[in-house]
Structure 1
Amino acid sequence: MDANILLIDDDTELCDLLAEFLSLEGFTVHAQHDGERALAHCRDHSYDAIVLDIMLPGMQGLDVLRGLRAFSRTPVLMLTARGEDTDRIVGLELGADDYLPKPANPRELAARLRAILRRTRMEDSPASELQVGRLNLNSSQRQAIYDGTTLALTSAEFNVLYSLLARAGQVVDKDTLCQEALGRPLSAYDRSIDVHVSKIRRKLAELGGDNLILSVRGAGYQYAPESAG
């Protein structure tokens, strides 16, 4: 796959190993080992996706992520310690697209990156534009507009909203949302979709779009018709 990837991790040996494997998979890989320098680097360089270790010396990974989201919507895949659910939820709240526990399996990392990139390259989608009420989604431009105002969505948030809008009025289960938005099955105790939906709701509500995404207990989520908003 032709894509430029940035690894941000202080473990230089791990970066070398991952870069070697990902290069064989067709990725062009760059690495930064310091959070503050990586953030400055990203202001002057663009990438198709970023792999970010949460546990960094100096400027922590979550602070790097917060800084990135101030000027960039590049998809971010977090690397988190196993069992650190709090870091994962905070990372998703700050704008990460997905996470992978360390030590990361290189094949799984490559698969996650491909899934993220496929969903950010939806130009060839036959249904590139969706309009329901005051909400318009254009997948070729990766743009969401509500009542004339652009929604600042991460790649994962856009994908979740697109899946819901494509089935407006229907309940979409979390596993389907996870498969379509993140490119992977929903795992036990995985709250990624819940966090993404929560963030989308807040962003819609800021523009007056209250109660547009409904929770259906034990079933999933539903994008309500505009008349219900």
Structure 2
Amino acid sequence: MRILVVEDEPKLAEVLRTYLQASGYEVRCAGDGLEVMPLIADWPPDLVLLDLMLPGRDGLDLCRDIRARTAIPVIMVTARTEEIDRLLGLELGADDYICKPYSPREVVARVKAVLRRSAADLAPARARETGGLEIDEGAWSARLDGVPLDLTPVEFRLLALLASQPGRIFSRDQVLDGLYDDRRVVTDRAVDSHVKNLRRKLAAVRPDEELIRSVYGVGYRLDLGGV
């Protein structure tokens, strides 16, 4: 599998390249943000390891662009912990983040975990429809009342989880388990952000209904017209 490492510090990039290649991945590196989108077009990777602070074009802007054009998983790398909720927010759609300084072995473990989730997401699956919501996990698409929903990978997993049993209350821990392999990957604030923005996208189709309900102290449930 192909990994694109976007890191402007040559020594760090080379360390990551060495560890990832030792784990069996094909690796290319980019040190300037302006190189990234042309490289993705020419050499489509299976995952992008994307530093936040880059010359030419910053990582946040690149993450938006990657997510708008592809479903390639993105792991953000940052030394700015105050950015973490934004990195995993619905507007950006990053799949995971890693804070500097980091262990190269941790990076490899995170890459493997995200690729496992991505493979599971793309596994063949039948479409299912209930209450006007259609989810096709094989095609990675969702529609509400026939209107396509423009969802990030994390949003899609969240909606698919809630829609698997409409009306059931899923605890925050169950939501975290459904979205991430390791609860430490995401903060409670980020989960609330995912839910808030998914609600906004659903409300654009059904403005008079609150489809995702919060049950105080318990979790979340999906209500689809009494289903």
TM-score (norm 1): 0.86
Aligned residues: 223
Which residue matches 2:216?
Answer: 217
- The whole-number CA distance in structure 2 between the counterparts of 1:43 and 1:152 is 22
Among candidates 101, 117, 120, match of residue 118 of structure 2: 120
Measure, in 1, the Cα distance between the counterparts of 2:167 and 2:31: 46
What is the deviation of 1:35? 0.7
Question: How far does residue 32 in structure 1 lie from its aligned partner after superposition?
Answer: 0.9
- Is the contact made by 2:136 and 2:142 (CA closer than 8 Å) also made in structure 1? yes
- Give the deviation of 1:190 after TM superposition: 4.0
Tell me if the contact between 1:119 and 1:159 (Cα under 8 Å) persists in the aligned partners.
no
Could you tell me how far apart the structure 1 residues matched to 2:220 and 2:107 are? 28
Q: Tell me, in whole angstroms, the C-alpha distance in 1 between the residues paired with 2:14 and 2:220.
A: 41
3-state SS of the aligned residue for 1:94?
coil
SS of 1:222's equivalent in the other structure is: strand
Unaligned runs of 5+ in 1: none
Q: In the alignment, is the contact (CA less than 8 A) between 1:135 and 1:145 conserved in 2?
A: yes
User: What is the alpha-carbon root mean square deviation over aligned residues?
Assistant: 2.3
Between the aligned partners of 1:49 and 1:59, the Cα distance in structure 2 is: 19
Cα offset, 1:189, TM superposition: 4.5
1:46 corresponding residue in structure 2? 44
Residue in 2 aligned with 1:90? 86
CA offset digits 1:49-76 (Å, max 9, x no partner): 1111112233221122222233223221
Range that drifts further, 58-67 or 30-39: 58-67
> 2:196 is matched with which residue?
198
The TM-score normalised by the length of structure 2 is 0.86
2:127 is the counterpart of 1:129: yes
Residue 217 of structure 1 aligns with an amino acid whose one-letter code is Y
Q: Residues 107 and 177 of structure 1: is their aligned pair in 2 closer, same or farther, counting only changes over 3 Å?
A: farther
Question: Which residue type is aligned with residue 28 of structure 2?
Answer: H
The answer (yes or no) to whether the contact 1:5–1:49 under 8 Å persists in 2 is yes
Q: 1:175 to 1:46 in 2, by over 3 A?
A: same
1:167-178 equivalent positions in 2, closer than 5 A: 167-178=165-176
Which of these residues, 30, 44, 69, is aligned with residue 71 of structure 1? Answer: 69
Q: Name the % identity.
A: 36
Partner of 2:21: 23
| Contact kept in structure 1, 2:73 and 2:95, CA below 8 Å | yes
Alignment partner of 1:182 out of 166, 180, 183: 180
Preserved contact between residue 53 and residue 78 of structure 1 (Cα < 8 Å): yes
Distance in 2 (alpha carbons) for counterparts of 1:128 and 1:113: 27
CA distance in 2, matches of 1:98, 1:188: 8
1:133-148 aligned at under 5 Å gives the runs 133-148=131-146
Tell whether the 8 Å contact from 1:8 to 1:52 is kept in structure 2 after alignment.
Answer: yes
Q: CA deviation at 1:9?
A: 1.2
In the alignment, is the contact (CA less than 8 A) between 2:63 and 2:94 conserved in 1? yes
The question of whether the paired residues in 2 share the 8 Å contact of 1:179 and 1:186 is answered with no
1:105 — aligned with what?
Answer: 103
Check conservation: 2:53, 2:59, Cα contact below 8 A. yes
Cα deviation, residue 228, structure 1: 5.1
Query: Contact between 2:93 and 2:153, CA under 8 Å: does it hold in 1?
Result: no
Q: Does 1:36 align with 2:24?
A: no
Shift of 1:78: 0.9
- Return the alpha-carbon distance in structure 2 between the equivalents of residues 169 and 193 of structure 1: 19
Identify unmatched segments of 5+ residues in structure 2.
none
Q: CA deviation at 1:107?
A: 2.8
